[in-house]
Amino acid sequence: MTSSTQGLHHITAICGDPAENRQFFVDVLGLRLVKKTVNFDDPGTYHLYYGDELGRPGSALTFFAFAGAPRGQPGLGAALEIAFAVPAHAMDFWQTRLADHGIQTRRERRFGEQALCFEGPHGNRLALVACDWAARMPAWAGAPVADEYAIRGFHGVTLALAELEPSAAVLEQVLGFQRVAHEGDRLRLRAEAGDGLGSVVDLHIDPAFASAREGVGSIHHVAFRARDTAHQLELRERLAGHGLHATPQIDRQYFQSVYFREPGGVLFEIATDGPGFTVDEPAHELGSSLKLPPQYEPRRELIEKALLDF
């Protein structure tokens, strides 16, 4: 399929206090804060981007920060868990590191892989998955975690759904994922490109789940990669052919976006690989100052006053 995506581009979740968010994802998990900007649809709130050295597609975890907002509820129609890829020998290191920070973990075995599961400070469900291929990928040199153990980017994401086939059909027939294994109430699909960052989507099927409620700790949307705007439009045409409505292309400054809801209710995005996060600041300064899209620069003083300083 010529229009297949290579996998996940980014995942966007919701957090509370932005300082607490940064402390955990940078100081504990060792990700890099690559962009400090605002929610383009609500410029009075932060939009924080974390990832590898450059926030490359497949590594970018982003947060809308709503300090004081109520907790969300995981459940049907939303992503349930974000999984990161770490080298295969890193499980003991991470279990000890997280315990030292007061974080309880549990080990699971899924589809033949070891996973270390835990919650972030806002209730976000997270996992570290031991991957044979992760050690061959570069780690961010500035991380507070040694290269031999460091997170490389996403392993994948788990979606909570009441039905399997409608959502699986979109992933297969529109985005080009392939079914690779079925284990209990989980179906695993993998991007056509194979092993690598963000290549896995697990569908967790349980009609007894309550419906998801958006709030702090919930996952807002899951974005998949398009090579460029032409590829993005090709994927959008496939969505239309599948009877799904998608937005027009929307300029998010660091990538172009198209949004749609898949049949199970999860908000999906298709995002272009470029131009990337160095479009408005050099690589060595990423995340060091507040960046605003051009339409909000005239309001910078008011926006900065509205934001919590951290």
What pLDDT does 195 receive?
85
Q: What is the pLDDT of residue 193?
A: 81
Q: How many distinct structural domains can be found in the chain?
A: 1
Q: Answer whether residue 2 is part of any domain.
A: no
From the centroid of its chain, how far is CA 309?
A: 24
Residue 243 within any structural domain of the chain: yes
C-alpha dihedral over 284, 141, 99, 122, to 10 degrees?
30
Task: For residue 291, give every residue at least 6 positions away whose Cβ sits within 8 Å of its Cβ, in sequence order, or none.
Answer: 35, 36, 37, 280, 281
Could you tell me the pTM of the whole model?
A: 0.97
Q: Which two tokens stand for residue 273?
A: 């690989």
| pLDDT value, residue 2 | 56
**Residue entry with tokens 């963000």:** 198
Residues 6+ apart with CB under 8 A from 304: 290
Answer yes or no: is 179 within a domain: yes
213 lies in which domain range? 8-306
Asked whether residue 1 is domain-assigned, the answer is no
Q: Which two tokens stand for residue 122?
A: 């806002």
Q: Does residue 27 fall inside a structural domain?
A: yes
Residue 232 is assigned to a structural domain of this protein: yes
* Residue 143 located in a structural domain: yes
Placement of tokens 């949004």 in the chain: 259
User: What are 116's two structure tokens?
Assistant: 């270390």
Look at residue 279 and tell me if it is in a domain: yes
Looking at residue 194, its pLDDT comes to: 82
Q: CATH code at 243?
A: 3.10.180.10
pLDDT < 70: residue spans in the chain: 1-2
Question: Measuring CA to CA, which residue among 194, 176, 199 is closest to residue 59?
Answer: 199
**Would you say 199 and 7 are in contact if contact means Cβ atoms under 8 Å apart?**
yes
Q: What is the pLDDT of residue 1?
A: 46
DSSP assignment of 130-155 equals EETTGGGS---TT-SS-TTT---EEE
